[in-house]
């Protein structure tokens, strides 16, 4: 029987991880999520992860963190090195969904690209428009997106409604549109490796992590006005509201 694996994830990945778990029949995989709004307060993520790891260490055979660097400038890596826990490879979800080489090609082809995933297409207003104040002050569009040229939708599923939502987002932001289907990419690969019980060395990135402004639109998803509740582990609201442990 496979040992129980706890995945501590960003709430923006809850739906995708649950879909992968069901498709693969991984009954031994459990999921707890930090609120996706922490992406607007990335300095808080490493400390939240440390608390979650220590709270759950004795209850699970293995813990895996489903975060990339996510704007923490190496903060997550520092915590995971101390705790002996592995994370998803890459700087952000766009990279691990698309794959490092493919994302690099996309970024080189159009440096002025703004990316959406299924999660962001589904919650575009709540995680992009509203936190930036564009619903109240649409004139800020040029201040935030004046240097962007294209919106690239990195889709995980073939949901036509999400494709339409992403195309609508591009129109609202006055950007060209491109659709690239990635599937679950590196997220599924990493979860499969953990579920197979292979011994994988803890990966701690040695590359520099440039500090990023929390106000930059591509640091979203996030909801700057709201703090987490007293419960430290929960799903992102309106995405996959289930018990934190699946």
Strand partners of residue 179: 153
Task: Give 196's pLDDT tier (boundaries 50, 70, 90).
Answer: confident
Tell me which of 215 and 25 has the higher pLDDT: 25
- pLDDT surpassing 70 at residue 152: yes
Task: Give 40's pLDDT tier (boundaries 50, 70, 90).
Answer: confident
Tell me which of 234 and 62 has the higher pLDDT: 62
- pLDDT surpassing 90 at residue 227: no
Please state which CATH class domain 5-91+185-219 belongs to: alpha beta
Reduce the secondary structure of 25-94 to three states and give it as a string: CCCCEEEEEECHHHHHCHHHHHHHHHHHHHHHHHHCCEEEEECCCCCCCCHHHHHHHHHCCEECCCCCHH
What does the pLDDT look like over 45-82, one tens digit per residue? 999 999 999 999 999 989 999 999 999 999 999 999 99
Query: What is the average pLDDT across 199-212?
Result: 41
């Amino acid at each position: 029987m496979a040992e129980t694996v706890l995945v501590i994830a960003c709430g923006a990945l809850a739906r995708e991880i649950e879909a992968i778990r069901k498709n693969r029949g991984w009954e031994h995989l459990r999921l707890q999520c930090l609120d996706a709004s922490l992406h607007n307060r990335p300095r808080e993520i490493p400390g939240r992860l440390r608390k979650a790891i220590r709270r759950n260490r004795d209850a699970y055979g293995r813990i895996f963190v489903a975060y990339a660097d996510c704007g923490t400038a190496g903060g997550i890596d520092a915590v995971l090195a101390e705790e002996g826990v592995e994370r998803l490879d890459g700087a952000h979800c766009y990279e691990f969904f698309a794959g490092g080489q493919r994302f690099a090609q996309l970024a080189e082809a159009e440096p002025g690209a703004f990316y959406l995933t299924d999660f962001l297409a589904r919650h575009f207003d709540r995680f992009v428009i509203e936190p930036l104040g564009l619903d109240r002050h649409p004139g800020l569009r040029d201040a935030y997106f004046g240097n962007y040229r294209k919106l690239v939708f990195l889709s995980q599923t073939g949901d036509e409604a999400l494709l339409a939502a992403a195309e609508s987002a591009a129109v609202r932001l006055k950007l060209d549109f491109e659709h690239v289907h990635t599937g679950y990419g590196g997220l599924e690969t990493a979860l499969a490796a953990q579920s197979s019980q292979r011994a994988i060395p803890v990966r701690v990135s040695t590359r520099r992590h440039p500090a990023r402004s929390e106000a930059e639109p591509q640091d979203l998803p996030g909801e700057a006005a709201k703090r987490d509740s007293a419960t430290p582990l929960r799903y992102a609201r309106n995405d996959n509201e289930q018990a934190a442990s699946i």
